[in-house]
Every structure is written in C-alpha cells, then in structure tokens.
Amino acid sequence: MKFGVVQFPGSCDERDAVHAASLVGEAELLWHADPDLKGSDAVIVPGGFSYGDYLRAGAIARFAPVMESVIAFARHGGLVLGICNGFQVLCEARLLPGALLPNAGLRFVCRQVDLEVANGSTAFTRACSSGGADSAGSGAQAQHLSIPAKHACGRYYADSDTLSAMTEAGQVVLRYAPHENFNGSVADIAGVCNEQGNVFGMMPHPEHAVDALTGSIDGLAIFQSMRMAAEGATTAAESARA
Amino acid sequence: MRARVLIRPKAGILDPQGQAVERALPALGFDGVEHVHVGRLVELDVGDAGQLDGMCQRLLANPLIEEYEVQLLDGQTGTPSP
C-alpha cells in the first residue's frame, strides 16, 4: 500500500511521516501546489506550520490545490490522517468536526503524553487493541499509547451537541489520560474521526514514536492500523468484484 | 469600499488571552477591569461589499469558534493613513 504525505510550505514533520509510513508500506511526498495524489491508498496531512499558520492554524492550507484532491479523496472514503497541524487543516476543511484553539496555558508545550484509546476499532486504531501484555483478557482496560505532543494550538473544542453526537457515534478516538490534558481540550480529547470513520485527526505525533531509540514505538500502531484497513478494503473490493 | 471585520472568540469559549490581559491590567494599577476578550481586526478594500459575509464564513473567521462583525467605513478610501 502507498501513503501520500502532503508537504506545504511550513510543514516540518512530513519527512518523519514518510519514514514512519515507510515502515509499514510505501510512502511519497505530495507537493501542496500539485493536485495529483499519485495513486496514494491513504493520505497523511503532517505537522508543522503550513503557510505560516497565518490568520488561524490551517486556515490558508485548507485551500491549497492538493487539499481539493484530498477532500474529494476523503469524500469517496479514502483514508486520511491529520497529525497536529494536519488535524487543524482537516478541521478547517470541515472534514472533521470541531476546531483547535490556542492552548489554555498560552504556551507552546513539547512533552511525551499518555493517551487512552477510546475507540480501538477504527481504521486508525484497530492495531492498538491487539498485542500488548496488559491488554490480554482485560477488555475494560483502555489501551494506552505513549506519544510526544508539541504544539501551541491544540485545545480541541466542539459545542456540546456536537460532542454528545460524536461520543455516541464513537468518533472520540483518543483521549489524554488523567492529568495529561495539558492544553485544555474539551473532554480530554486528543484525536477524533469523522462520522464515516475514514478521516482521523490527532494532536500528538505518532510519526515521532516509531523507534525505540527515541523512547516509544507506540505510534507505529496508527500506521499499522491504516495498512490493515486499506488492505481489508482492497480485499473486500476484490471479493465484491469476484 | 473600505471595510473592517472584527473577529471575537464566541461567548462561552475559554479565552486565555483575554484572561491574561484581565490579570495584567490590575497589576499595573488599572482597577475595575472585567470581561476582557482579545480578538482580531481585518481591514480591507472590497469592490462588492455583498461578498464580505462569504469571506468571513469561508476564510476570515471560523464560525464554529468565532463571531464576526462587518463595519463598512463609508466615505473612506483604502489609502493608508500617513
């Protein structure tokens, strides 16, 4: 399977995203001014400060030529992962509900965070629930991921009606573990998906947690999940054709 | 036509910038300061003022988190003041 990783002027995590995705499949950069997704089976909108984050984080990037294709790809059911600035871009593009606001403490924060997988059956988290010594036989126990976060504008917000609909529908995918919600996100939300489940955004950076040398490999599960989902979809499509 | 767009955080959404300013003013001896909110100001010349609402909805503001107010500055040109 092939991951396309969008590169805006001001992106800074696209190369780590390519590296992480290449551990589970092929990966290629997609330049912001080129609407061609180059046959990608999944798209990653990476972290950084696209177009300088002028006006609001993600507000300008959302109108980049490549984003028109990403939006069409998402509307046809393609898998789209937004990380940090990518999450902000996907919210601005209305592919995901809600918005990201400046951290409650107004500071840029860079730290390892403990996350709980609130929905382990999505196309982006299904690999989280399998494996892991402490998850065996303890269905009630939430799977935890240790992943770095680094942002100044990561306070997730959605109004209360949207929030209850999302919670009901399992769209709250990742939450900060108790005492880990450093940015003031509503309901400790760290990652959400759309209603259809094919678009997912998270503030922490799974692409920075794929090598034991840097402290954690928990981020790999996100990319492995996407591979499982993409291959499952291919298999289903193939059997439908057969 | 010169226009001014005032953008504010929606009521009820935590505004840490406003809070920080609200705490800072009394520290400088300015008493009786309440309900401070910090927003954004966009000034622009437009050919068709009827398009301003669309501009706000699509780009200048995020209606999920912000309120906006359009002011038309009649009789003014876009020439920057000296």
Using CA atoms, how far apart are residues A26 and A2, in angstroms rounded to an integer?
A: 5
Q: What is the mean pLDDT of residues A121-132?
A: 80
B29-50: average pLDDT: 96
pLDDT at A76: 97
Higher pLDDT, A60 or A236: A60
Shortest CA distance from B17: residue in chain A: A106
Query: Which residues from chain A sit within 8 angstroms of residue B14, using beta carbons?
Result: 101, 104, 155, 184
Q: Which residues of B touch A102 (CB under 8 A)?
A: 16-17
Verify whether the Cβ–Cβ distance B16 to A56 is below 8 Å: no
Beta carbons of B65 and A63 less than 8 Å apart: no
Percent of chain B past pLDDT 90, that is, above it, reads 89
Tell whether the model's pLDDT for residue A136 goes beyond 60.
Answer: no
Strands A26-31 and A2-7, how do they pair? Answer: parallel
Give CA–CA dist B32/B46, Å, rounded. Answer: 39
Distance between A106 CA and the closest CA of chain B, angstroms: 7
* Structural domains of chain B, with CATH: 2-73 (3.30.1280.10)
| pLDDT at residue B66 tops 80 | yes
Single out the residue of B68, B66, B67, B72 nearest to residue B50, CA to CA: B72
The whole-number pLDDT of residue A153 equals 97
**Nearest-CB residue to A106 (from B20, B62, B64):** B20
Structure tokens at A181: 């919600």
Mean pLDDT along residues A65-77: 98
| CA B68/CA B3 separation, integer angstroms | 13
Alpha helices in chain B (DSSP H): 16-27, 52-55
Identity of the residue numbered A79: L
Domain of A144, CATH number, reads: 3.40.50.880
Record: contact A106-B13, CB cut-off 8 A: no
Residues of A in contact with B16 (CB under 8 A): 102-106, 184
| Identity of the residue numbered A88 | Q
The answer to ipTM > 0.95 is: no
**Neighbouring residues of A74: CB distance < 8 A, sequence distance ≥ 6:** A43, A80, A95, A194, A198, A199
Q: Decide if B62 and A105 are in contact by the 8 Å CB cutoff.
A: no
Number of structural domains in chain A: 1
Which pLDDT score is estimated for A49? 97
| Distance in angstroms (rounded) separating the CA atoms of residues A75 and A147 | 29
Short-list B62, B77, B61, B59, CA closest to B3:
B77
Residue A241 — pLDDT band, cuts 50, 70, 90?
low
Rounded average pLDDT over A192-210: 98
Alpha helices in A43-139 (DSSP H): 65-75, 85-92, 126-129
Supply the range of the domain harboring residue A11. 2-241
